[in-house]
Chain A
Amino acid sequence: MYFSLTLQPRPAMDVGSVPVELTTRPRANVAFCGLDLGKPEHQTVWEAFTESRGSEREFLRFTNYDLSHVFPQAKTKRTSYEAYVERGILKSNWLHKHTKLIPAVGVYFFDLDWDEGDFTTLKDQCARELLQFKKNLSGRDSRLCLVLVQRRASSPVNDNKLAAERAHDLTQACEIPLKSLFVLQYTEHLLGFVMRLETAIMDMAKSYYSGEYRRLSAQNQLLTKGSHQLLFIRHHFKMGTFQELKQDLTAAGKHYKQAYTFLAELRATDPNLLEVKTVAGIINYKICQLLFEQNSPLDAIHQLRRHIENFKTSVGPAALAFEHYAWLSRQNSLFGDLFDLAVRRGLVPIQTQHPGFYYLSAAQHALLRKKAAQQLCQAMTLFSRRQDAPDIPEPDPLIDAGSVPYYGQRPWRAAVAKGEAPDPQLEEIAIKALQYHEKHTNQSNIIIPLLSGAVSQFKKYRGPRHKRRQMVLLAEEYIANSEHDKALSILMHVLLDYRQERWPSLLTEILATALRAAYLAANPVHYLTLAIEYMSAWTDCSRELRDSLLNDVARILDGQIPTKPFADLEDKSSLWTDKLQTALKPDCPVVLDMDKLRSCIHCKAYFKSPTYSSDETIQLLVYVRSELNLDINFVSNFSVHFNHNVYDSQCAVTDPRVLGLVAGRTHTFNFTFPANQQHVGGQIKVVGVSMILGNQNWSGTAPKPLVMLKWSAASLGTQFFKLAWDPIPQKKTERESSFMELPHRLSATIAHRPARMSLKWSLEGPALCEELLPLKIELTNNESGDIGNVQATITTTSAGTNFTLDPNLAADRPSLTVDIPPIRSGSSQSVSVLVRSTEVGTKDVDLTIYYETSLNVESEGKNVLCKCHRHDVMKLSVERAFDLGGFLLSRKVSPISKIRAGEPFILAVDISSRSECGHGLELGECAVELGSNVKSIGNSNHVDSLPGSSQVLGVQLLKGETARDCYFLQADNPTETEVTSLGVFRYKWKRETYQHWNEGRFILPSPIVLTCPISLNLRTPPHARVRTPLPVQYSLLNRSDRIQEINLQMNSSEAFMFSGSKQLSLRIPPGKKEFLQYNLYPLVAGYVALPKLHLQLDPETTPVDLDSIVDEMLPAYIFVMPHGKGAKSPS
């Protein structure tokens, strides 16, 4: 006895596909009852269960039923399989029934609070309804539970006496165990309650499915291996499903694998092959799905490999071969989907293993299916008596296709017992019907999505070439599906890359496909582009086709439609007629970018010389070669484009007699033109070459299109000739050298014409530091004509070197431009500038002379104003002029390093000449700018340092000579720093022969100033005479601001006798002077030491000897003259 089908007939399953129930992971089925979705509370509860079920929630599926809903009734279970006749493997309704219809748990919701007043009535109502619900589920082991929806929060049943009591009553009335009673409090913690309830429901569901599993496994024991092959498969599949519903994936996987093993052992025959394959597909799908779920993708891949391997050769009836390919295609695409899903869940695919490969494989099998279908079904002309669908046979053997009781069975002999022979006549009709259906299936709609899927996968996982390959397949399919424009745009896109990598055979083939697409889409621009490329020598295009393509190009240019490039193409003449009008406009030519093509016409540009001077004629050769077998005579214009477009018009050919391109010959266009004076100093570059195809001067009524072929610098240069395979034949003909060997040069420099001008520098000797040195340059015009607009720019990069024109202005500019009046031919002109350098060394002085002259340039036949320039560098060596030194001298003219405050001293400045300039250097005014603490004291010859008062004024020095300038100075009180800057010495100098005075300055030394308590002085006559009394006077000045106690002692001397105090104690008030008179009587002549004066300060307290001051301030010697002969000795 069979359970009658209560299902709606479903659409027929595609070959090899899996039931929808399997595509998602099964969830334990739970039936809700008693929820009135009209009530807001119940609606909220329902939503809490069903909405936003994240991965953390239990795998449950909820359906809300009315109390009146009756669930499918259970069949009586078999106790023996002895009389069982196997009619199929998997029943097509079973999965739906167990995953969607029969609940594992029935949950009854009832609104009841513990403290409800009318509790007894409500309790009875609840018990009644629950009983009804239970009855609806009769015959099933579905677990049952009661959920009380409570509006008021209450304490747990255990702590609540009333609740405990009433709960007990309720369970008694409903005949359910206490543990099947749940409370759902409709509070803000609803979701928490729901989650806990779900866990409880899940536990119950698991126990239900375990029960079902055990029951089934017990039944499985009843089977015998020999006679129940199909049942074994079915039972294991079912057990697997129950385990999966129980969420035990490992156990489920084992059962599915077991089922697959049994299935693989099954002997498949033509009648049941489809069923076997379908079921194998289903089980394989489950296994792979679970393996991905358990994160073992490699096992899944192996499983698929084995699966495909098992059934690869089981094609089945030859008339239905397409079904086999459809099945293979489906297996791959399903696996691809599973893989993709796993990737989206976090699996990381690799470049050589990702879903794209399976989509590709699916697409390839789909293509095989299409091919098989074309072979098998093309001849299908069906007989029919029906009006609405005249091709369908009657009775339609496929009418029940959507409701076969077993997966994969043929509708016309569904559920037949094993071994029943099929009716050959019915078989034949049915096969024809299947073929008919196949014929009317749009295969492209299957293939295109698969290929698109593969393309996007390969794009994602770094397979650019795979992707392009599949795009080509995709384009081919679009062509098959008459979507020519789409196909063409895809092909034009991939061609860019294929041209880059230059695999000739692949490129040729894709070009041919694209040419087909362009013809079918009637796209004249692409058609011309592709034709020009396809005609090239490197393709394996046949000679006839080449000729016909060339003919087509000519026809399109003539405004006619082209012929079919390939004989098997559909005729698209009418479409072409329309498109030609719109796509090609006669007034603006269509531009084809030849850089991107591997075309049949090649160009090269070559400047004969890398540089042209501005008065020379530029010579440019452009080589053009066509590789076609036929001559081209529709070129109407050939022009070269430069970076300066003024030249463009000079390099254009429009004469049709010259422009015909002869097959296989290199044409040379020779252009000569003068350089434009504006571009002198820059470059002239060829940026492109263009060729206009079509008749430019057509004046007829029907407009004719124009096409411009454009080569940019890139393809005129080297890039094109770096091909792995040379598109140009290597064989040299007798007259011509290989095109490849022709030179190319795309840019040339337009140089200045060399100047005919001589320069003469005149400069006296080495320059001296800080000197304003006149620099004279003589320019001589050697041109044949006069020169004008002469300008000299003198410049230097050395720091500290500057120029000026006027000696009275500061020389502060490192460069200088001088305008020079025009110079007649053969005459000279000189320029003077002054240069000053503050640093010693060799400096480069650059001089550039710009001028214009009128010249007769031969190519232009008229006088052209030509700009020239002459550049020269002069090395200027700079030397130091003087060495200066400053010295301090005491009054005794002995060098000192320290000075005493208030005591006069002498500043001597030595100026020594070092220059070897050949002339003397004349010193001018010198002056000392004294520091604040120093003053000049007028004494003897010295006056205050006023201009003109210098002793060295007008002195001339040669190399090595030194002049000394002296100043008598006095330092005031010592400063805090002890060091006193004496100031700056300024001096003026010039070369004897020059006019300009140069200034120099020298920073004077900064000596230490010491305090001096006592100042000593001795007044003596300039010299003494032997035995003549010599009166001398010592003066002692107290410079300090306290009274000084001094002990004085005059030592005796052998050279003198003297009178005066020999030993004395003195007390000198501040600022006062004490005088001591002595009369010396010299005894010997000569330079004689004076008697030594010995002073001691503060003899009582801390005696300080003043010997050093005495030595410094008092003269130690005096010159004593001998007694003159005859001179009277003073008596």
Chain B
Amino acid sequence: MAVALALINKDNSPLYLRTVAEPANGEVAHKLLYMLHTSLDVVEEKVNSSVPGKNDSRDLCLGVLYSLDEYKLYGYVTNTKIKIVIIVELGVAVQFRDNDLRNWFNRLHQAYTEVISNPFYVAGEEIKSKKFEAVVNDIMRKQ
């Protein structure tokens, strides 16, 4: 369903990047990567401009970051400023409920928590975990 997904650390460097584009189609992959990267503009803005009082019980899910001609971008920020960005094709996004989105983000967050609980994982390194990968695969699988 999702076409691209990124887990980004607090310094805005990627911990995990994934796009559905086939390796041969460098152009699409490239475009999606840039999209993931530029979406940080909106994420940062949303994180920094949280209105006191409004975001008291901080909702980690940022919702739609913005939508383009073909894609819609969703964001999520953990309390430790780990950002998750998901790109969904506009056609898919139409038949897509808020709950599904939250469910995805929660699963990814959970998977990430498990990754960093692994004593062999050095914090800040690129994530290479089969379990994490499985969650991502599930989110990105075609339906």
Contacts and interface: CB of A to CB of B under 8 A. Distances in A.
A308 B69 CA distance: 9
B60 interface: no
B124 A464 contact: no
Nearest to B39: A465
A501 B13 contact: yes
Nearest to A308: B69
Contact of B125 (A361, A466, A726): A726
Contacts of A724: 9, 11, 13-15, 124-126
A469 B42 contact: no
Interface string A483-513: 0000000000000000011111110010000
A722 B122 CA distance: 11
B45 interface: yes
A503 B13 contact: yes
Interface in B8-41: 9, 11-15, 17, 30, 33-34, 37-38, 40-41
Nearest to A309: B69
Interface in A455-471: 462-466, 469
A351 interface: yes
A723 interface: yes
Contact of A502 (B13, B30, B45, B65): B13
Interface string B98-118: 000000000000000000000
B34 A469 contact: yes
Contact of A723 (B12, B69, B124): B124
A351 B41 contact: yes
A724 B126 CA distance: 6
A725 interface: yes
Contact of B37 (A351, A501, A725): A501
A506 B125 contact: no
A462 B124 CA distance: 27
Given A462-B41, A462-B45, A463-B41, A725 B34 contact: no
A348 to B, nearest CB: 15
B12 A501 contact: yes
A308 B70 CA distance: 12
A401 to B, nearest CB: 31
A723 B45 contact: no
B63 to A, nearest CB: 12
Contacts of B42: 351-352
A725 B38 contact: no
A883 B69 CA distance: 97
A502 B10 CA distance: 12
Given A308-B69, A352-B65, A723-B13, A503 B37 contact: yes
Contacts of A504: 14
A723 B11 CA distance: 10
Contact of A465 (B15, B17, B37): B37
A464 B42 CA distance: 10
A509 B37 contact: no
Contacts of B37: 465, 469, 501, 503, 506
Contact of B41 (A353, A466, A506): A466
Interface residues of B, number: 22
A788 B33 CA distance: 72
A506 B69 CA distance: 22
Nearest to B13: A724
Given A351-B45, A361-B69, A465-B38, A503 B33 contact: yes
Interface residues of A, number: 24
Contacts of B121: none
Contacts, number: 62
Interface string B40-77: 11100100000000000000000001100100000000
Contacts of A469: 34, 37-38
Nearest to B124: A724
A465 to B, nearest CB: 4
B125 A505 contact: no
B24 to A, nearest CB: 15
A352 B41 CA distance: 9
Contacts of B12: 500-501
A505 B11 contact: no
Contacts of B69: 308, 361
A361 B69 CA distance: 9
A466 B65 CA distance: 14
B45 A505 contact: no
Nearest to A462: B45
A722 B12 CA distance: 13
Nearest to B43: A465
A692 B11 CA distance: 33
Interface string A506-540: 10010000000000000000000000000000000
A465 B40 contact: yes
Given A502-B13, A503-B14, A505-B17, A352 B126 contact: no
Contacts of B41: 351, 462-466
Contacts of A351: 41-42, 45
Contacts of A464: 41
A665 B33 CA distance: 34
A308 B90 CA distance: 15
Given A724-B15, A724-B124, A463 B38 contact: yes
Interface centre among A463, A469, A505, A722 (most CB of B within 10 A): A505
A469 B35 CA distance: 9
B13 A505 contact: no
A506 B29 CA distance: 11
B38 A466 contact: yes
B61 to A, nearest CB: 17
Contacts of A462: 41, 45
Contacts of A353: 66
A763 B69 CA distance: 91
A1044 B63 CA distance: 110
Contacts of A500: 12
Nearest to A351: B45
Contacts of A361: 69
Contacts of B65: 352
Interface centre among A462, A509, A724, A726 (most CB of B within 10 A): A724
A506 B34 contact: yes
A286 to B, nearest CB: 23
B17 A722 contact: no
B141 to A, nearest CB: 23
Contacts of A725: 13-14, 125-126
Interface in A749-790: none
A662 B113 CA distance: 41
Contacts of A722: 11, 124
7 contacts: A353-B66, A462-B45, A463-B38, A469-B38, A502-B14, A722-B124, A723-B13
Q: Which 6 residue pairs spanning A and B have beta carbons closest together?
A: A724-B13, A352-B66, A502-B13, A465-B38, A463-B41, A501-B12
Interface of B: 9, 11-15, 17, 30, 33-34, 37-38, 40-42, 45, 65-66, 69, 124-126
Given A502-B13, A506-B34, 4 more contacts: A352-B66, A465-B37, A465-B38, A501-B11
